[in-house]
Structure 1
Amino acid sequence: MSLLTDRERKLLYLIVHSRTKQSRKVFDKRDYCFQKSIRCTAKIIGKSKSAVDRLFQKLKSLDLVRKVIDSSGQQMLMLKPNFIRTNRSKYEEWYLLAMYYQGSDEKAQNYALQCRTDGVLYDCKVFGEVVCLLTGEITYGEVIRQLTWHEGKSWYQSTESYTSTDRAKRRNYCGVKLVA
């Protein structure tokens, strides 16, 4: 049984796979965030505002969208990354799920760094620094499993590769300013 009706699913796919670019971009597939307001989204994709509004209300009620803080510090509405899958590596999916559940890009980066450092995959839903009162040991939540040596190496190498999309996404985060 599907969570959304056929009409709602088609509307969501229309928004997610919209071919508009740059200033008219409705949905960013890199970070699964909606870029425009409901009114602007409806205008750009050519649907009624009420239909788009009903879709977003249903997505919120099903906990398929949440407000998160992106890399530039703006609050955006994010679609749950494993609800509609795109062609991504498992490391990007882990990172996006952490961003969804932790509520910010910065916390997701800390999650990914801690997973790579410790060589384990933590549960991103309950990740956070916890101090045991009896032993004084610092833990980071529930461990799902140990990462294999190959996974740890591949995850580290995926962060070292530098592409044009990385430059665009992290420009504000790194403090790089372009001068014309």
Structure 2
Amino acid sequence: GILPFALDEETWNDMLAGGGTDDWTWNTESQAIECGADGVREVNLYPQGTGSPGNRGTVDIGSNNNSTADIARQILHGASPEDMAHHGGVLELDENGELFLNGDTGISAGVKDELEAIKGEPKVIPIFRTVVGPGNNATYTIVAFAGVRIMEVKLTGKMSAKRVIIQPANMVLRGAIPGTESVQTSQFVYSPVWLVR
């Protein structure tokens, strides 16, 4: 499913070009996270300095009044049909290659356990180009989606030490809207094969 945390395009592209860190390994045989480098770079997804006061990268998928309980549910189970109904039933980029999502305020250690529970699972995150407005009035301009895996979660202690570390990961997502040959807006996100008679 999709996580309600957006990463800025510059950080994502910098990571793909070799920026970030390489402190964690996804062991494909044991299906476990291990300490140490694996050649796949990592960055901090959340919290981040988005440029929007009172907002650290959380976006509303669904109602503009997402509570911590809504975010926790979306982390564990993805967006519900009710959440998607707020977006016309689909999260897709418009003809300009953009999708606008409202921001959600603050940072909550209340989702720490849920993020810990999905460590290692492939998930999708929105990638944003710009954010304007403060806190719950922030508007994120989403320009892509990316497949990632959470490698580390630390949401207690002082703000400067809080982090949710991710690395790119292939994600097969039923219902994903395939790109055209000329326009690819997502990375590491794939649609399953459909057999048609």
Please report the TM-score for the alignment, with normalisation by the length of structure 1: 0.24
Would you tell me which structure has more strand in proportion to its own residues? 2
- Mark the structure with the bigger radius of gyration: 1
Please report the TM-score for the alignment, with normalisation by the length of structure 2: 0.23
Would you tell me which structure has more helix in proportion to its own residues? 1
Structure with the greater relative contact order (CA < 8 A, sep ≥ 6): 1 or 2? 2
